[in-house]
Amino acid sequence: MVLYIIGLGLGDELDISVKGKKIIDKSDVVYLEAYTSILFVSKNKLEEYYKKTIHEVDRDFAEENCDIILEQALKNKVCFLVVGDPLCATTHHDIILRAKQKKITVKIIHNASIMTAIAESGMQLYNFGQTVSIPYFENNYKPTSFYDKIKTNLNNNFHTLCLLDIKIKERTIENIMKNKKIYKPPSFMTINEAIEQLIYCEEIHKQNVITEKTLGIAIVRIGTDDQQIISGNLFKLKSLQYNQPLHSLIICANTLHDIEKEYYDMYLCDS
Amino acid sequence: MVLYIIGLGLGDELDISVKGKKIIDKSDVVYLEAYTSILFVSKNKLEEYYKKTIHEVDRDFAEENCDIILEQALKNKVCFLVVGDPLCATTHHDIILRAKQKKITVKIIHNASIMTAIAESGMQLYNFGQTVSIPYFENNYKPTSFYDKIKTNLNNNFHTLCLLDIKIKERTIENIMKNKKIYKPPSFMTINEAIEQLIYCEEIHKQNVITEKTLGIAIVRIGTDDQQIISGNLFKLKSLQYNQPLHSLIICANTLHDIEKEYYDMYLCDS
């Protein structure tokens, strides 16, 4: 049979495509991937609208029990729902390879992604360099490779999309060691936290990447009714209060094109 | 009132989001932007499914008569439909600025884009550098800046997404001069033509960007039932026959990560 990997888009239960919805209607089993991103509605709301029981899949399940999903897909129409466009995160490439090894047909239903929705900021997608992820710093784990990548992008006069860490259903090292399935509360990095970490990197590496002149655009809950797009220098953006996560951050190229400049000015924080 | 700019996604009338479809249902006027990309269904099919009269907007209309659309949006709910995710091309940033100047509320309904759908190739979006456009060479106009950008991406070990030219409702210079609205037949650059142009650039610039070792992935009609994803070196890819356009081309980084390598091998052209 078929494994359908269906993108849900950015906001709520209505952001699925008509095609994706029709496939769910005719499917036998529906899984929801709930550990690389989140929608802004509850699973119940999705179940109500899609009229299907939805099984939430967390990281443990996907890694340990991927075979269960694939066994079902051998005999049934199985939907695997993913927020955004399903393959933007690197996570789901593995299940497709494993499905193809078992000769299961895989169909991807694409949808909107943060990676192109950010064009709403006015920054041209053609002018972006490599996308970076900013992970939460921990006491003894403070990787700063994103700082070097931003520097490279700035040197080439590219914008950088910074995707901010989210932690869903993570366990403490203690609970992993004890094999206890007790999870920490979910956390979503804010723009303020991300800029704090960027400033930390600047203090360590001193490459003049993050200065008073570094321009950014705060991207908050894009694709929802309470989205925010706010431009300003990074220190200004760090001082603002935003709507609830999800947050992302664009670090702008040093030189903006005319139309980018117009957008930047339009979104300038006014206080 | 409101100007809704609604992404149609990649394939057919069913790729619109449920949210976008609901907005069309309640709208007063519907335009379809038909000059930066195409869907794989006719306007009639869209009209039948969306149950609305759809006004096709060509480049001339959008540039000269944008104000007509905006005047309507002052008093009505106007939908402006765009293939893919509406702001991926740079074209539509202008109408939004002009709408905002007139205090018209603008809402973007995002959708799938080629720029993230290419993740289906297995190449990780995080490993892409700047996206390039390859324009049709003309007798006395052969810009090669995309060649330099691909070189920069390769030097940084990034993949490059090459978007291939499409020409819809273009006029000959003669007909523009005579102000005659007679259009050339539409043309869509094939992967074969794109690689020919890349080889031409190599012959001119001799920077060892396009060689027997340069790996690529042909992306054909992604998001449709007859999509193709085929990997191989560029000379091999140039020799193949593909399904009808739209075509895109990924030029792969010199070093592939393990999972990228697995996908590359899976999609290898077998002849």
The HSE-up count of residue A101 (CA atoms within 13 Å, CB side) is 12
Q: Does A85 touch chain B (CB under 8 A)?
A: yes
Beta bridge partner(s), residue A188: A166
Query: Where in the sequence of chain A do the CATH 3.40.1010.10 domains occur?
Result: 2-112
Produce one character per residue of A130-163: b if its CB has 16 or more CB atoms within 10 Å, e if not. Answer: bbbbbbbbeeeeeebebbebbbbbbebebbbbbb
Answer whether B156 sits within 8 Å of A158, measured CB to CB: no
pLDDT grade for B66, boundaries at 50, 70 and 90 = confident
In terms of pLDDT, which residue wins out, A83 or B59? A83
Comparing B18-27, B159-168, B182-191, the range with the smallest average pLDDT is B182-191
The pLDDT tens digits of the residues spanning A2-28 come to 999 999 999 999 999 999 999 999 999
Q: Which of residues 156-175 of B touch A (CB under 8 A)?
A: 156, 158
The pLDDT tens digits of the residues spanning B148-158 come to 999 999 999 99
The pLDDT value recorded for residue A204 is 96
Q: Is the preceding omega at residue B246 within 30 degrees of 0, hence cis?
A: yes
Residue A170: what residue type?
Answer: E
Query: Where in the sequence of chain B do the CATH 3.30.950.10 domains occur?
Result: 115-266
B10 to chain A: which residues are within 8 Å by CB?
110
The pLDDT tens digits of the residues spanning A199-225 come to 999 999 999 999 999 999 999 999 999
What is the mean predicted confidence (pLDDT) over B239-254?
Answer: 97
Q: Does A264 touch chain B (CB under 8 A)?
A: no
B246 annotated to a ligand binding site: no
CA distance readout (Å), A210 to A130, A205, A235:
17, 10, 9
Q: Return the residue of B nearest to A17 by Cα.
A: B17
CATH superfamily for domain A115-266 = Tetrapyrrole methylase, C-terminal domain (3.30.950.10)
CB B208 within 8 A of CB B259: no
A247 annotated to a ligand binding site: yes
The fold of B2-112 is Cobalt-precorrin-4 Transmethylase; domain 1 (3.40.1010)
Comparing A55-64, A92-101, A199-208, A241-250, the range with the smallest average pLDDT is A55-64
Q: Is the confidence at residue A270, as pLDDT, over 80?
A: no
The pLDDT tens digits of the residues spanning B92-107 come to 899 999 999 999 999 9
How far apart (Å, rounded) are the C-alpha atoms in residues A53 and B146?
Answer: 49
CB A207 within 8 A of CB A154: no
Answer whether A110 sits within 8 Å of B112, measured CB to CB: yes
Nearest to B85 among A94, A112, A156 (CB): A112
The pLDDT value recorded for residue A175 is 86
Sheet strands (E) in B19-122? 29-33, 54-57, 77-82, 105-109
Phi-psi region of A74 (alpha: psi -120 to 50; beta: other; left: phi over 0): alpha
The pLDDT value recorded for residue A271 is 54
SS3 of B256, please?
Answer: coil
What is the ipTM metric for this complex?
0.95
pLDDT grade for A157, boundaries at 50, 70 and 90 = very high
CB A18 within 8 A of CB A73: no
B152 to chain A: which residues are within 8 Å by CB?
156
- Which among B211, B219, B220, B209 has a CA at the least distance from the CA of B250? B219
In terms of pLDDT, which residue wins out, B60 or A16? A16
The pLDDT value recorded for residue B271 is 54
The pLDDT value recorded for residue B189 is 97
B117 to chain A: which residues are within 8 Å by CB?
85, 108, 110
